[in-house]
């Protein structure tokens, strides 16, 4: 089942600043299940992509488009910033309609035909001088009218092109001016997406613990009945299981909160609960193949705060202050990029170590399962082996996620989205 959402949410309340400050509490009022509005597809978006954006699953690679077309803060800002563009565009449309209504092309074609007919008539044999002069006068008037019509068409056509280009340039300026807002929102959604999968790892650990503690409790109850274990051991097993179940319930609640919060930011209504797609695998080749110096140069070029700091105006004193401010910010950004690059390399090393540890733990788990089934391992020893395997698996999944997150943060810093301490 797919959901119908609208490109522009005209009911969003408050200013852009209020919307951004509201964060995950912002909601949209339009969200009805049904076919996506294929007659309202944005330019450059395929029907297949639009249908995917309008289903009930938030995919990682859709976050940028979801922010652009459905985030209440961004669409409200686009509406506000683009109001002057809409007025200009309407005026250009009216002028274009006026130009087309003149039908100058038809006038020019008919005039050329009349000129051709007169020229043919003037070349007829036996034409009197009086008729020739009359035709010559008419021909001169037609040529003047033709030249005027062609000049008018050229002028108006050029004006329409220039005005249309002005509209496109204005729309582009609006998009560029709001690009930092969109990038921050997209980065925030990616961070929430990653946080969701971090909690999924925690949930996986807790789920395994519940399974393990359930088995341990069953074994303790059997052992108590047979006089092999004490009541204290059984109560401890019950407490472990109860605590694991409680933590699992709390984690499920946190996961639901993130789903609902992301939905509010990406066009779902407050009572909807979108699904969260899979997190892509990290590009483990990126940290070793990227060029940190070239990335640093790109980060300087894309960072809007640095661009603001570099703007020079006023007299000599003001310019010196501006240059000093820009140099200080550039230095901090350089240090930050070095730190992010080092963190990315460190996360890669931890990922490789965790992958090796996980493989080793899987082998130990298989051995422990065999020994336990044969009665060669006691409950405590088996629980320790299982817990170690669960921990190794979780460490691997977490290391993979941390590497993905570190690479993502680094790439966003290169693109100009970074927080300096």
Write out the DSSP string of 375-393: T-S-HHHHHHHHHHHHHHH
Question: In the chain, helix, strand, coil percent, each to 5?
Answer: 80, 0, 20
DSSP 102: T
Please report which confidence band the pLDDT of residue 166 belongs to, taking 50, 70 and 90 as the band edges.
low
Q: What residues make up the domain containing 402?
A: 282-421
Tell the burial category of 366 from Cβ atoms under 10 Å away from its Cβ (0-12, 13-18, 19+).
exposed
Give me the number of domains the chain comprises: 1
What is the model's pLDDT at position 161? 76
Taking the CA atoms of 216, 221, 223 and 229 in sequence, report the sign of the dihedral they define.
positive
Does pLDDT of 35 surpass 60? no
User: What is the average pLDDT score of the chain?
Assistant: 80
CA dihedral defined by 109, 115, 118, 122, rounded to 10 degrees? -150
Q: Which residue is listed with tokens 């036996």? A: 126
Please give the biggest Cα pair distance in the chain.
139
Q: Per-residue pLDDT for 36 more than 60? A: no
Report whether 224 contacts 172 (CB < 8 A): no
Q: Which of 81-90, 106-115, 124-133, 263-272 has the lowest mean pLDDT?
A: 81-90
The owner of tokens 């931890």 is: 350
**pLDDT of amino acid 340:** 95
Residue 62 lies in a domain: no
pTM for this entry: 0.64
Element (H, E) at 276: strand 275-276
First to last CA, the chain: 45
Looking at the domain assignment, is residue 138 inside a domain?
no
| Residue 80: pLDDT band with limits 50, 70, 90 | confident
Residue 201 lies in a domain: no
Q: Is the pLDDT of residue 113 over 50?
A: yes
139 belongs to a structural domain? no
Specify if 28 maps to a domain: no
Token pair 């946190």 is at which residue?
A: 254
Asked if the model's pLDDT at residue 64 lies above 80, the reply is: yes
Any domain includes 253: no
- What's residue 385's pLDDT? 80
In a domain? residue 288? yes
Provide mean pLDDT across the span 289-297: 95
């Amino acid at each position: 089942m797919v959901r119908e959402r609208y490109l522009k949410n005209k009911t969003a309340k408050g200013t852009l600043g209020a919307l951004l400050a509201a964060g995950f509490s912002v909601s949209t009022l339009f969200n009805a299940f049904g076919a996506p509005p294929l007659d309202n597809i944005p330019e450059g978006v395929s029907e297949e992509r639009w249908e995917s954006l309008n289903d009930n699953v938030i995919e990682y690679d859709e976050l940028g488009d979801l922010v652009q077309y459905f985030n209440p803060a961004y669409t409200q800002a686009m509406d506000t910033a683009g109001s002057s563009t809409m007025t200009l565009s309407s005026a250009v449309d009216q002028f274009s309609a006026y130009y087309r209504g003149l039908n100058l092309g038809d006038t020019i074609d008919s005039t050329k035909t009349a000129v051709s007919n007169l020229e043919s008539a003037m070349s007829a044999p036996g034409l009197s001088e009086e008729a020739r002069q009359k035709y010559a006068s008419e021909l001169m008037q037609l040529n003047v009218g033709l030249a005027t019509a062609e000049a008018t068409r050229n002028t108006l056509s050029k004006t329409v092109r220039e005005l249309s280009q002005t509209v496109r340039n204005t729309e582009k300026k609006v998009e560029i001016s709001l690009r930092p807002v969109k990038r921050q929102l997209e980065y925030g959604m990616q961070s929430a997406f990653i946080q969701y999968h971090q909690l999924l790892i925690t949930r996986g650990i807790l789920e395994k613990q519940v399974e393990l503690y359930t088995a341990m409790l069953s074994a303790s109850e059997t052992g108590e009945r047979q006089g092999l274990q004490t009541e204290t051991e059984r109560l401890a097993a019950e407490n472990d299981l109860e605590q694991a179940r409680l933590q699992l319930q709390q984690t499920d609640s946190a996961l639901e909160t993130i789903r609902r919060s992301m939905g509010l930011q990406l066009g779902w209504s407050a009572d909807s609960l979108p699904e969260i797609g899979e997190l892509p695998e990290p590009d483990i080749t990126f940290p070793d193949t990227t060029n940190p110096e070239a990335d640093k140069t790109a980060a300087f070029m894309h960072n809007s705060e640095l661009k603001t700091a570099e703007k020079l105006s006023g007299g000599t004193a003001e310019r010196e202050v501006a240059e000093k401010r820009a140099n200080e910010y550039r230095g901090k950004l350089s240090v930050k990029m070095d730190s992010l690059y080092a963190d990315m390399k460190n996360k890669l090393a931890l990922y490789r170590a965790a992958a090796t540890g996980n493989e080793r733990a899987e082998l130990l788990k298989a051995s422990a399962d065999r020994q336990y089934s044969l009665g060669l391992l006691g409950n405590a020893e088996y629980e320790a082996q299982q817990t170690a395997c669960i921990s190794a698996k979780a460490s691997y999944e977490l290391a993979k996620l941390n590497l993905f997150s570190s690479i993502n943060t680094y790439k966003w810093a290169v693109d100009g989205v970074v927080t300096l301490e």
